[in-house]
Amino acid sequence: MALQEEFEEQGNWLFKYRSYLPLIVLFVGTILYIRTEIYPETFFLEETPYEIYYEMFALLISLVGLSVRMYTVGHTPKNTSGRNTNEGQVADSLNTTDIYSIVRHPLYLGNFLMWFGPALLTGHFWFIIAFVLFYWVYYERIMYAEEQFLRRKFGEQYLEWAENVPAFFPAFKKFQKADLDFSWKKVLKKEKNGLFALFLIFCAFDILGEIVETKADYNYFLITMCVLTGLSYLVLKFLKKKTHVLDELNR
């Protein structure tokens, strides 16, 4: 099999199991976080007054990633730009404006930043480097598979867009505003689990760290946000399943 077909096949396979493979990274990160708590000398900010600022910085990075995802989802119509599904690729049209005018894969950029926050929490330099390399290889294949699909479907339109828009690092000067208004309903429907998952991970790390250190100096901001976002997730899930409150035409 030629590399072109092999990369595409790998990308489709990695997408299929995208919900499970990152959990392996999270598991390894959790082990290293526990190790840092047991051996604080391995991380120069551990047990210093600056540790809390480092944790909030990591949280901010993840929130920026979530914001990128929310902005992207809120400005796109239904079934566009090669959205992957379990049944295969879907693309009724090609997104080329708004955030897609400055970067070709904004959702994966958002994913990277969201996961980079927990990676930073480990305080383990080599794990952070390994995470970046893993993400690069992992999502490079998925992006390749999506772009192959879009190239076959949209031809010259896709090639012209791809030639002028970077794949992962945004070129902000190229921004072109879209005509489509931002949809909070679509964001709440599609991204309802992201905010809860984010605060759940950070809250779990914080509680785990205090247990390992046999302390009770919990971060009550994280605990409160975890509870609130968890309740919000349940409410939004109910609204999505049982009502049409979050439905919008072509969104």
Token pair of 87, please? 């049944």
Higher-pLDDT residue of 161, 7? 161
As a whole-number percent, the residues of the chain with pLDDT over 90 amount to: 48
Q: Within a domain: residue 227?
A: no
Choice among 10-19, 51-60, 163-172, 182-191 with the minimum mean pLDDT: 10-19
Encode pLDDT of 84-110 as tens digits. 555 556 666 788 889 999 999 999 999
* Residue scoring higher pLDDT (3 or 31): 31
Token look-up 């994280």 returns 222
Q: Is residue 146 part of a domain?
A: yes
**Cβ neighbour number for residue 33 with a 10 Å cutoff:** 23
Decide if 201 is inside a domain: no
Flag whether 250 is in a domain. no
CATH number, domain with residue 77? 1.20.120
Residue 145, domain member (yes or no): yes
Query: Which tokens hold the place of 96?
Result: 């080329």
Q: Which residues constitute the domain of residue 168?
A: 3-181
Average pLDDT, the chain: 87
Which residues have CB under 8 Å from 117's CB, separation 6+? 58, 59, 60, 61, 62, 63, 65, 198, 202
pTM: 0.89
CA nearest 136: which of 165, 172, 168, 171? 168
Q: How many CB atoms sit inside 10 A of residue 79's CB?
A: 13
Is the residue at 13 inside a domain?
yes
Q: What is the helix (H) or strand (E) element at residue 90, kind and residue range?
A: strand 88-90
Give the per-residue pLDDT at 30.
93
Give strand pairing partners of 90: 83
Q: What does each C-alpha distance from 29 to 33, 77, 85, 125, 250 come to in angstroms?
A: 6, 36, 28, 11, 39
Residue 143 lies in a domain: yes
Q: Does 156 reside within a domain?
A: yes
Q: Quick one: which of 228, 221, 222 has its CA closest to 203?
A: 222
How many domains, the chain?
Answer: 1
CA angle 18, 164, 90 (to 5 degrees): 35
